[in-house]
Amino acid sequence: MDAILLQILNGLDKGSAYALIALGLTLIFGTLGVVNFAHGALFMLGAFCAVSLQKLMSVSKITIDPSQLDFLGKPLKVKTPYVVEWFGPKFGNAIIDWNVPLAIIVAIPVMLLVGYVMERGLIKHFYKRPHADQILVTFGLAIVIQELVKANFGANPIPTPAPDQFVGSYNVGALIGLDASYPYWRLIYFAFSATIISSVFAFLRFTTFGMVVRAGMADRETVGLLGINIDRRFTIMFGIAAAVAGLAGVMYTPINSPNYHMGMDFLVLSFVVVVVGGMGSLPGAVLAGFLLGVLESFASMNEVKGFFEMLYLPSIDQIIIYLVAIIVLLTRPRGLMGKAGVMEE
Amino acid sequence: MKTISKADMRTLFFVAIIALFAPLILNPFPTESGWAQFNAGYPDLMQRFAIYGILAIGFNILFGLTGYLSFGHAAFLGVGSYSAVWMFKLLSMNIIPALILSVIVAGLFSLLIGFISLRRSGIYFSILTLAFAQMSFALAYSVLTPLTNGETGLQITLNDPRIFAAENISGNLPVTSLFGMEMRDTWTMQLGAWDFQFNIGYYICAIFLLLAFYISIRIFRSPFGMMLRAIKTNQTRLNYTGINTRPYTLAAFVISGMYAGLAGGLMASMDPLAGAERMQWTASGEIVLMTILGGTGTLLGPVMGAGFIKYFENIFSKINDTVLHGWFSWMPDGLENVIVWILHLFTGKGWHLTLGIMFMMIVIFLPGGLMEGISRIGKWWKRRNVKNDNTSHNSSTPAQ
Amino acid sequence: MSKFTRRGLIKTGATVGAGLAMPTFITSPLAAYTNAPTGGSVTLGFNVPQSGPYADEGADELRAYKLAVEHLNGGGDGGMMNTFSSKSLTGNGILGKKVEYVTGDTQTKSDAARASAKSMIEKDNAVMITGGSSSGVAIAVQGLCQEAGVIFMAGLTHSNDTTGKDKKANGFRHFFNGYMSAAALAPVLEARYGKDRNAYHLTADYTWGWTQQESIAAATEAKGWNTVNNVLTPLATTDFSSYVAPVLNSGADILVLNHYGGNMINSLTSAVQFGLRDKIVNGKNFEIVVPLYSRLMARGAGENVKGIFGSTNWHWSLSDEGSKAFVKSFGTKYGFPPSQAAHTTYVQTLLYADACERSGTFNPCGVSEALEGFKFDGMGNGPTEYRAEDHQCFKDVLVVKGKENPTSEFDVLEVVEITPRGQVEYPADHPMFAGGALGKCNPGA
Amino acid sequence: MGILKVQNVNKSFGGLKALHNVNLDIEEGKIHAIIGPNGAGKSTLLNCFVGKLTPDTGTVMFDGHSLLGIKPHQINQLGVSRVFQTPEIFSELSVWENTLIPCFAKRDGAFTLNALSRVSDNKDMAEKAEQMLIDVDLIDKKDMLASSMSRGDKRRLEMAMCLSQKPKLLLLDEPTAGMARADTESTIELLKSIQKKLKITMAIIEHDMSVVFSLAQKISVLAQGTVIVEDVPEKIKGHPKVKEAYLGEAQV
């Protein structure tokens, strides 16, 4: 039971990342009708907001310490971050340590801006173009973003740890009489995702802005005819979707060190999630994200792997996501909660 | 009986001429000059142009005509390659049985995947094909290693049975051949400062490319092709016209799968190795990009798109800083360094960046892909000529 | 390398005409082997990952290659040429020919790597190919070089298969392998963690992972350890939490991560996050082992590597003369210490050049003969031998652990023990390396 | 003898009864109109004809075959063609190809892998298509892209496509909906002339009574899921039940 609880938590955690990215993809797709292959790159950009902030905060004053030698036998250049210089070692180091949470504050305006620029500068011109063209141009953009990040930060993963306060784990299992400790940061990641997801839903449901956008998703022309500037709202939606992806990226950095191709790693998977959830359905995307996350976690359990091996399906964890996708799409023509007529042609 | 129209015959002839003289056309710069970096006329790249051309032509029959976007086409390429290498391991190094098997296996595999995936349309179809291809890749990389040799890729070894081959006493790995003609045989023609390489393997690939192109023309112009295009524009009407669309799409899927199998087989014939990465989604994505880049639904576009991407991959990735310094060494030092620093972002390890920018440029400025670029140039040329004619008329009138 | 010269024009005067050369892979009418250099220069092909996850490692390899070329051509301070036991290299290029090079991108894909290598052979007339950052690529390119008739000096490749079942006569590996890692690590692990240990393996699900796991399990079991479980993880895994979580209750007290690169960083990060290192199981501290370390990569795991044991081919903190000379010239040129990948590729280039000098030819068969059984020293790994039977280098192996108090961003690992060569050697027909044939050297033409 | 026979068809969605004991008999060679106010069940009935919906009870027989639960292309193969409310044509193909496709479909059936012959080699098909285009007066637009035509022309093209297959029954779903007065009239004239020339049985589903009076030889009036009256146009005109059905709607 402990093991199962742990895997459910793992699954929810993985699912959080999937769901956040898929949610943004669906928002963009549902509002603008654009297939955005650069969405993974936005996720990655978010993560690199945290990395950049870390770099920024570790900009250092260099003092030469003749008592220590560097690898070439020259006096060692000791680096003291200016932040530490200014705020003193205790507070300064604490700021550096809290880099990831601080990065959230940075990432929101940055990602909104990135989204805004991307939509106005590029995506706008592709509303009426075929999906194939949208794929090509956004894929090109993804490559460009990715390569620029690589040119700046290198290809290796860059460690961006969580604040010390969140190191360690919490016995979640104890709450229900089991024994299952789970890392703090992963719990926070899940809680954070849940908050973001519910905020997006609440925003769409309870604000006038959201209402108009939802109406626009259902019937763009009519809403346009009502004299509402739906375009501007859609631009804002694009910004929000970018911010959601970016925040998912920022919060993900302590879980896995970010690197320049992490967006591509998630891209295909998040498309699978969106489609399994059903095109154009926001709840579908979230549901599918968590579902696939949990199934993936279960599939990696030794017992499950062993069971499938008896059925001559070794390494079920290699293919589980795709297998589930196939089964879902064959039994439910439009995914879990898809709408008829959306991208079926 | 005439099988293709005059215009198509001209296109085919044009392609044939290009293919025949590719070793000359693609090597415009003298071997020792700095620009030789841009020469593409060496066997491996020319073979790749032809092979990826075949692949893209086949993909275009499915995507360009029916509009069904398969995101898993690389799986058929991979399966074709594996089949071919297995034939080299088991039977002999002759490429004919290898190619036959790769086309058949890829055909059967695409029949299976197509039969299931074509139950859905649009993006649901795309994701189904993607899922199958990714499953194939994951399994080929790990569990199926006895069959695929996993990470390393399937290679021929000295210990292979090769039951129809003469005993190998040289201690060297045998090479692929067509009834004794070795694929790697190359005649180098030295003409002044130029070295031109005529490679048997390339010409075999080129012949298959022409054949593939010819068949694709026939399909485009046939009632079958017309039905496929009708599927793309209106399935409802086609159904109420008495057409069962499923077998049509399945046939197109299998045909394009067989093209991919042929391409995979040829790839293994030119270089007897089949790697699992050939089946990864990035490889499938590359096929899609080639087709869109060149011009979806056009006859020649996909081949050009394939050439374009492969050129960047193979030529731009090799331009390193030293080469750049070589080119700009005539500049003052400071300026040279600045120029090299800027350019090195786009070449060598930055070749992906150039590719990404090119993708965006082309799709922004040439919505119909490279083919649209060509037709625009053609129109501009015509207009210019017309104008020239007029001006010459005008200039001659006063004299009269 | 390439320059706007007027040579092209001058050559036109001496037109050879449309003479058809012999049908060969690539020809020069007089040559007895592929790409025999004709002019005053010789071209080497440096085929390294420049895109994809190992791009940084590739970039470091490339730096080392450039340095080696500089030294061979008489530039710089000569680096390890001064400490190398063989003194045939004089800074006058190779066999009097100036060394030039071309570079390519393997993308860490066997297909792309072969395409790139082929273009070097066919277009740029490279007479030797070297580089790479994964075993799949190394084996694929090694096969190609065997067919084409050029020498392949492997870069970073750790799988037993490279000089095991996939060994080739034209291919040479300086880097160590899974077996040697295991043989070096096992005694150290035994000494630190005791005999009675239960190990849980997480293994990357492809050839390299399997061979390493097999080697480590065999070596540790010989020391009395028990292998509780071996779980294969898909290559594409980014979040290892679901593989790490079951370790907690498996009864194991050691976790062995047979992962490399991004996989290693992510699995190690997950394992530390789940608090494995703070656990006490069976009355012992829970420990994690990463059999193959790469300093470049280990940096990506940040604090998590501290105190974790592993093995590495070479480390810049070594104090022998060779290493010191190399670190000095590399560090002076680039401002930071070289990685093990850089070391291997640098050494491979010098070894190749030296073999050419000693045999007096670029002919792969001559070079191969000069390298087979070649014993040398002064290259940073102590006395080393290129074994004739399988073209594997035998030398000391470093056991390292993550440094607790690093003084700089490069100071990630500290050398715990230098396992002497004798301890990691194995017979050429060892079962883990069986199944292949070296074949004969192939000069191409 | 009727070519399309609908007997005792019932269909309900949840609690709502959409069709209630519908009986129809469409005679060969005649134009039969089915009219009724909005929500009378016309579309539901049509969907039962073309296999999109299966009635809860009852039968729909065409020329001795049941039309229930079979696919659109099979229905077409039996000899039924359909004209849609908004013209369904191959908008990205040329007018010429639009007319050719039904000809090939008629000759080659539901699926033929006719991949290597040339379209232009099939002279007989070309003749047929050309004749059709002449009949509907579109021959001078044959090289145009179908999507670039006016709505009226699209309608004629669709009609031509259906007729080129020489169907035994032509189903028309509000063929003049959304058309300008002039287009409506020309469409009516077109239908009349086709009827005269080809003697094809037509079933017209129509909301607007005025369209069908001059056209139909027989009219069934559908209201609230049942056929309330069935007669020749002259008699329908002043029929109290019809008035009631339509006026009722008007009052709402």
Residue C287 distance to chain B (closest CA, Å): 28
Give CA–CA dist B315/B49, Å, rounded. Answer: 13
Asked whether D29 and D170 are in contact (CB, 8 A), the reply is no
Q: What is the pLDDT of residue D248?
A: 63
Query: What angle (nearest 5°) sits at the alpha carbon of residue B205, between those of residues B203 and B208?
Result: 110
Q: What is the pLDDT of residue C10?
A: 32
Nearest CA in chain C to A7: C242
A265 touches chain C (CB under 8 A): yes
Give CA–CA dist C72/C94, Å, rounded. Answer: 7
E strand or H helix that includes residue B21: helix B6-25
D and A: touch, per 3+ CB pairs < 8 A? no
Low-confidence ranges of chain B (pLDDT < 50): 1, 394-400
- Cα–Cα separations (whole angstroms), residue C163 to C139, C147, C151: 9, 17, 14
Nearest CA in chain D to B4: D118
Reference B81, options B343, B248, B247, B273; nearest CA is B273
Asked whether A336 and A328 are in contact (CB, 8 A), the reply is yes
pLDDT of C203 higher than 60: yes
pLDDT of A158 higher than 80: yes
Reference B59, options B256, B219, B224, B227; nearest CA is B256
| Strand pairing class (D201-206; D169-173) | parallel
Residue D156 distance to chain B (closest CA, Å): 15
Q: Which of residues 158-177 of C touch B (CB under 8 A)?
A: 161, 166, 169
Q: What is the pLDDT of residue B394?
A: 46
Contact B353 A345 (CB under 8 A): no
Nearest CA in chain B to A341: B122
Say how many C-beta atoms besides its own lie within 10 A of residue A56's C-beta.
13
Region C412-424: mean pLDDT is 93
Give me the torsion for CA of A15, A16, A17, A18, rounded to 10°: 40
Q: DSSP code of B162?
A: -
The first and second tokens of residue A288, run together, are: 């599918």
Q: What is the pLDDT of residue D249?
A: 55
What proportion of chain C, given as a percentage, has pLDDT over 70?
93
Q: Are residues D32 and D69 in the same domain?
A: yes
Whether residue C225 is contained in a domain is answered as yes
Look at chain D and report how many structural domains it folds into: 2
Reference C402, options C322, C297, C326, C279; nearest CA is C297
Contact B242 D104 (CB under 8 A): no
Give CA–CA dist D24/D59, Å, rounded. Answer: 11
User: Which structural domain, as residue segments, surrounds residue D66?
Assistant: 1-79+167-252
Q: Are residues C265 and C332 in the same domain?
A: no
Contact C302 A315 (CB under 8 A): no
pLDDT tens readout for residues A116-136 = 999 999 998 888 888 888 988
Q: Are residues D71 and D188 in the same domain?
A: yes
Whether residue D84 is contained in a domain is answered as no
* End-to-end alpha carbon distance in chain B: 51
Q: What is the pLDDT of residue D43?
A: 83
Could you identify the residue written with the tokens 């993006």?
B123
B and C: touch, per 3+ CB pairs < 8 A? yes
E strand or H helix that includes residue B190: strand B186-191
Residue B277 has its nearest CB partner, among C7, C110, C232, at C110
B130 touches chain A (CB under 8 A): yes
Give CA–CA dist C8/C11, Å, rounded. Answer: 5
Contact A318 C234 (CB under 8 A): yes
Low-confidence ranges of chain D (pLDDT < 50): 251-252
Residue A132 has its nearest CB partner, among B127, B292, B357, at B292
Q: Which of residues 232-271 of B touch D (CB under 8 A)?
A: 232-234, 236-245, 247-248, 251, 255
pLDDT tens readout for residues D45-99 = 888 888 788 888 888 888 888 888 888 899 999 999 998 888 899 999 999 999 9
The distance of Cα B212 from the centroid of its chain, to the nearest Å, equals 11
Give CA–CA dist C185/C216, Å, rounded. Answer: 8
Whether residue C68 is contained in a domain is answered as yes
Region C239-250: mean pLDDT is 89
Nearest CA in chain B to C237: B138
* End-to-end alpha carbon distance in chain C: 26
Say how many C-beta atoms besides its own lie within 10 A of residue D116's C-beta.
13
DSSP-assigned states of every residue in A145-201: HHHHHHHHH-SS----PPPGGG-SEEESGGGGT---EEEHHHHHHHHHHHHHHHHHH
Residue C205 distance to chain B (closest CA, Å): 6
* CA-only gyration radius of chain A, Å: 22
User: Which structural domain, as residue segments, surrounds residue A318?
Assistant: 2-56+97-331
Whether residue A273 is contained in a domain is answered as yes
Residues of C in contact with B133 (CB under 8 A): none
Assign 3-class secondary structure to chain C: CCCCCCHHHHHHHCCCCCEECCCECCCCCCCCCCCCCCCCEEEEEEEECCCCCCHHHHHHHHHHHHHHHHHHCCCCCCHHHCCCCCCCCCCCCECCEEEEEEEEECCCCHHHHHHHHHHHHHCCCCCEEEECCCHHHHHHHHHHHHHHCCEEEECCCCCHHHHCCCCCCCEEECCCCHHHHHHHHHHHHHHHHCCCCEEEEEEECCHHHHHHHHHHHHHHHHCCCEEEEEEEECCCCCCCHHHHHHHHHCCCCEEEEECCHHHHHHHHHHHHHCCHHHCEECCEECEEEEEECCHHHHHHHHHHHECCEEEECCCCCCCCHHHHHHHHHHHHHHCCCCCHHHHHHHHHHHHHHHHHHHHCCCCHHHHHHHHCCCEECCCCCCCEEECCCCCEEECCEEEEEECCCCCCCCCCEEEEEEECHHHHCCCCCCHHHCCCCCCCCCCCC
Q: Are residues D58 and D18 in the same domain?
A: yes
What is the interface size between B and D, counted as CB pairs within 8 Å?
115
A112 touches chain C (CB under 8 A): no
Residue B191 distance to chain D (closest CA, Å): 43
Reference C436, options C182, C162, C170, C181; nearest CA is C162
Q: DSSP code of D94?
A: B
Number of H helices, E strands in chain B: 16, 6
- Cα–Cα separations (whole angstroms), residue B184 to A58, A69, B88: 55, 56, 15
C168: CATH: 3.40.50.2300
pLDDT of A11 higher than 70: yes
Nearest CA in chain A to B367: A133
Strand partners, B190: B195, C19
Q: Are residues D9 and D62 in the same domain?
A: yes
pLDDT tens readout for residues A58-103 = 888 888 888 887 888 788 888 888 888 888 888 888 888 899 999 9
pLDDT confidence bin for C3, thresholds 50/70/90:
very low
Q: What is the number of alpha carbons within 13 Å of residue A278 lying toward its C-beta?
A: 16
Whether residue A296 is contained in a domain is answered as yes
Give me the torsion for CA of C53, C55, C61, C64, rounded to 10°: -140
Look at chain A and report how many structural domains it folds into: 1
Q: Which of residues 166-205 of A touch C (CB under 8 A)?
A: 168-169, 181, 183, 185-186
C428 touches chain B (CB under 8 A): no
Query: What angle (nearest 5°) sits at the alpha carbon of residue A33, between those of residues A31 and A38?
Result: 100
Residues of B in contact with A35 (CB under 8 A): 123
B150 touches chain A (CB under 8 A): no
Give CA–CA dist B152/D44, Å, rounded. Answer: 61
The predicted model scores a pTM of 0.91
Q: Are residues D108 and D208 in the same domain?
A: no
Give CA–CA dist B170/C147, Å, rounded. Answer: 12
Whether residue D45 is contained in a domain is answered as yes
Q: What is the pLDDT of residue D222?
A: 87
Give me the torsion for CA of A9, A12, A13, A19, rounded to 10°: 180
Asked whether C424 and C397 are in contact (CB, 8 A), the reply is yes
pLDDT tens readout for residues A25-44 = 998 887 788 889 999 999 99
Nearest CA in chain C to B349: C50
Give CA–CA dist B279/C48, Å, rounded. Answer: 22
Q: What CATH number does the domain located at B6-164+173-279 have?
A: 1.10.3470
Strand partners, C230: C201
Whether residue A64 is contained in a domain is answered as no
Look at chain C and report how many structural domains it folds into: 2
Say how many C-beta atoms besides its own lie within 10 A of residue D224's C-beta.
16
Interface of A with B (CB under 8 A): 35, 122, 125, 129, 131-133, 135-137, 139-144, 146-148, 151, 264, 268, 271-272, 275-276, 279, 314-315, 318-319, 321-323, 325-326, 329-330, 333-335, 343-345
Whether residue D126 is contained in a domain is answered as yes
Q: Are residues D178 and D116 in the same domain?
A: no
Q: Are residues D17 and D33 in the same domain?
A: yes
What proportion of chain C, given as a percentage, has pLDDT over 90?
69
Q: What is the pLDDT of residue B115?
A: 96
Whether residue A111 is contained in a domain is answered as yes
Contact B141 C116 (CB under 8 A): no
Q: Are residues D156 and D177 in the same domain?
A: no
Q: What is the pLDDT of residue C17?
A: 36
Residue B351 has its nearest CB partner, among C12, C105, C119, at C105
Asked whether C444 and C27 are in contact (CB, 8 A), the reply is no
Q: What is the number of alpha carbons within 13 Å of residue B21 lying toward its C-beta?
A: 8
Reference B219, options B7, B8, B6; nearest CA is B8
The domain spans of chain B are 6-164+173-279
Q: What is the pLDDT of residue B396?
A: 40
Q: What is the pLDDT of residue A341?
A: 66
Q: What is the pLDDT of residue A79?
A: 82
Q: Are residues C41 and C106 in the same domain?
A: yes
Q: What is the pLDDT of residue C296?
A: 86
- Cα–Cα separations (whole angstroms), residue A211 to A202, A230, A235, C149, C226: 10, 11, 15, 70, 62
Domain's final residue, options C312, C327, C356: C312
Q: Are residues C185 and C276 in the same domain?
A: yes
Q: Are residues D246 and D185 in the same domain?
A: yes
- DSSP3 helix / strand / coil % (chain B, rounded to 5): 70, 5, 25
Q: Are residues C266 and C375 in the same domain?
A: no
Could you identify the residue written with the tokens 């056309």?
B25
Domain's final residue, options D107, D136, D166: D166
pLDDT confidence bin for C2, thresholds 50/70/90:
very low
Contact A147 B350 (CB under 8 A): yes
Asked whether D219 and D233 are in contact (CB, 8 A), the reply is yes
The distance of Cα B331 from the centroid of its chain, to the nearest Å, equals 39
A334 touches chain C (CB under 8 A): no
Contact B275 C440 (CB under 8 A): no
Helices (H), chain D: 42-49, 72-78, 95-108, 123-135, 151-163, 181-198, 209-213, 233-237, 240-251
Whether residue D87 is contained in a domain is answered as no
Nearest CA in chain B to C15: B192
pLDDT tens readout for residues C215-227 = 999 999 999 999 9
Q: Are residues D5 and D47 in the same domain?
A: yes
Contact C327 A71 (CB under 8 A): yes
C334 touches chain B (CB under 8 A): no
C206 touches chain B (CB under 8 A): yes
- Cα–Cα separations (whole angstroms), residue D165 to B7, B240, D100, D105: 31, 11, 10, 8
Residue A144 distance to chain B (closest CA, Å): 5
Contact B352 A275 (CB under 8 A): no
Give which of A123, A134, A136, A279 to mutate to test B binding, by max B Cβ within 10 Å.
A136
Q: Are residues C243 and C302 in the same domain?
A: yes
Region C296-316: mean pLDDT is 91
What is the interface size between A and B, counted as CB pairs within 8 Å?
130
Helices (H), chain A: 2-32, 39-57, 82-97, 99-121, 131-153, 184-206, 208-218, 220-225, 230-252, 262-277, 282-299, 302-310, 316-331
Contact C111 B277 (CB under 8 A): yes
Region A181-205: mean pLDDT is 93
pLDDT of C25 higher than 80: no
Contact A265 C236 (CB under 8 A): yes
Residues of D in contact with B237 (CB under 8 A): 88-90, 158, 161
Q: Are residues C134 and C265 in the same domain?
A: no
Query: What angle (nearest 5°) sits at the alpha carbon of residue D124, between those of residues D120 and D128?
Result: 100
pLDDT of C4 higher than 50: no
B327 touches chain A (CB under 8 A): no
Residue B241 has its nearest CB partner, among D84, D101, D113, at D101
Residues of D in contact with B211 (CB under 8 A): none
User: Which structural domain, as residue segments, surrounds residue C87?
Assistant: 27-176+317-394
Give CA–CA dist A154/C57, Å, rounded. Answer: 10
